Amino acid sequence: MSAPHLRPVDVGTLEDYPVDPSERLDSHGFPMWEFRRWLSSDMRWHGSHESKSIFFELVNVAHGETPVGTLPDDLARLARMVQPCVDPGHFERLCSMPFGPLHGWYRCRCGDDVRLMHPVVTRIVLSALASRANSAARTEAASHARKLKRLTEDVGQLAPDVAKDPRKIRWISNEIDNRVSQRGGQRRNVEDLHLAIQACMQKARSGGFPQ
């Protein structure tokens, strides 16, 4: 039985890999493993111990590849990537088995390249990237909240009435950011705060913050 990756394929019919090559998971030290799916999988039940060992090795290797979660479509190269290295001829014979080391892997397009992907590995990678994005968003939101809290306290010392309106605090924060950006600075100074408060009060007098 010939393995799918060994058969000629029309590149135009291949699925596009859904992860950009620039994405990395270098800081993701604990990739998710769907152990319940694995325990009931045909690969676990029917694959040889050697094939399952190499399969698991390649799953881990894929997390460090570009794009993350893929493998090169090159049997000789894959045989060298396994540690200890596997004889290329022996590796190819294993892959020709119904439940060889590349069971479930199939060709995909990664830009101009053709590589191998596995649906479960791809799902794990996408889940890890989503988790990282959510974590970054939560961190950014918490940082922004702390920034507004400090700004509210600072504005409260100079213009208590202004500090009572969250809309004005957010406006002042944006005004300060714009001033800092225009002068090429990195931190706000006292003048930025004073000018932003004055501009906010002027905007409020002109009806900029309707009740």
Q: Cα 191 to chain center, whole Å?
A: 40
pLDDT in tens, 122-139: 999 988 888 877 777 888
Q: Is the pLDDT of residue 27 over 90?
A: no
Handedness of CA 180, 183, 185, 190 (dihedral sign): negative
Whether residue 176 contacts residue 182, with contact meaning beta carbons closer than 8 Å, is answered with no
Straight-line distance from the first to the last Cα atom of the chain, in angstroms, rounded to the nearest whole number: 75
pLDDT in tens, 158-210: 999 999 999 999 999 999 999 888 888 778 888 889 999 999 999 888 888 88
> Regarding beta strands 106-110 and 71-72, do their DSSP bridges make them parallel or antiparallel, or are they unpaired?
unpaired
pTM of the predicted model as reported, rounded to 2 decimal places: 0.66
Whose tokens are 């994005």? That residue is: 133
As a whole number, mean pLDDT of residues 36-55 equals 93
Which string of b and e fits 49-65 if b means at least 16 CB within 10 Å? eebbebbebbbeebbeb
pLDDT band of 61, cuts 50, 70, 90 = very high
Whether residue 58 contacts residue 78, with contact meaning beta carbons closer than 8 Å, is answered with yes
Q: Which two tokens stand for residue 118?
A: 């596995």
pLDDT band of 95, cuts 50, 70, 90 = very high
Distance CA 189, CA 72 (A): 53
